Amino acid sequence: MTKLKIISALLSVLIFGLTSHVSAGILLQENFEDGNFSTRGWYDNATPKLSSLEHIPNSLKSLEFHFAKGAVTPDSTGSSMRKKFLETDSLYLSYYVKHSASWVGSGGTYHPHIFYFLTNKDTDWTGPAYTHLTLYLEELGGKPQILIQDGVNVDLANIGKNLTGVSEKRAVAGCNGDSDGLGNGDCYANGSVYWNGKTLWKSGTDLFSSTAGPSYKGDWHLVEAYVKMNSIVNGAAVKDGVLQYWYDGKSVLNSTTVVFRTGQYPDMKFNQLLIGPYIGVGSPVDQSMWIDNLTVSNAVPTQLAPPQNLRIISP
């Protein structure tokens, strides 16, 4: 190989490095190239629908979710896809998403749910709506949003009372006060217990637009999110949890004072992903969405530093 070819090869590696990420601690990676999901650790629904027509460049297939009009769940998706991963205080999610031209989501003020993260305080089969903590990453009317629930933690003897600074045996997403100064969250009775929900992290901009342009929903877009559990110091929750969201590399959400857990569960960590689009009121139209090249790691990937004092030497 000549000096010129060697230099060209080195330059290619360096240039690629400038636009690529250094791998963080990968916890889960799924490219949806074949249907062997159970062999890769997926369970509950290990036979989702794949599309060979819709996929990102250099990919063969994507995960397809098609809602018939009136459907609550997509075709062939009676339950969520689940996969466990190593327990972690922090997690980073990235995936590519595309929507059909008809996509409107729920058409209402809530849903569809799409991605859910659960923790080591619940079982492998826990339903996501009533847990010690569920983190949702979803879209509403074309706007990204993140929300949390922790209904199992609600102090039923003190519904509507602010227990922040009083007791660590409390919920953080509603019913027991405002844990982080970001809002009380919702609180509502469901049989003999109370459920809650904190939906304060949402984009003010339509990022999955019906209008042609850089945010058109019918094109592939890269979504990234990072969440870090808050600290527990001297048995009490500290307001330092992190919640971030990027769309095609641009920051959309950034909150650094979130409380996800209290001193009641200082060792609470994320350990399970559910993928399960759900429209409780039924899909208002026939619509589809596709997901490709999904990664979960324990940190935000970092960029390689640019090369220093690089020179091209003629052969």
pLDDT category of residue 9 using cuts at 50, 70 and 90: very low
Q: Are 111 and 279 in contact (CB under 8 A)?
A: yes
Rg (CA), the chain: 21
- Give kind and range of the element (H or E) at residue 134: strand 134-140
Q: 67 forms bridges with which residues in the sheet?
A: 287
DSSP per-residue letters across 13-46: HHHHHHTSEEP--EEEEE---SS-TGGGT-EES-
The predicted structure's pLDDT at residue 8: 41
Q: What confidence tens digit (pLDDT) does each residue in 178-213 have?
A: 999 999 999 999 999 999 999 989 999 999 999 999
Q: Does 217 have pLDDT greater than 50? A: yes
What tokens appear for 143 in the block?
């706007």
Look at the block and give the residue holding tokens 């020179």: 311
> pLDDT tens digits, residue range 55-108?
999 999 999 999 999 999 999 766 799 999 999 999 999 999 999 999 999 999
User: Which residue type occupies 302?
Assistant: T
Q: What is the mean pLDDT of the chain?
A: 90
Please tell me the distance from the alpha carbon of residue 29 to that of residue 293, in angstroms, as a whole number.
7
Residue position matching structure tokens 């709506």: 129
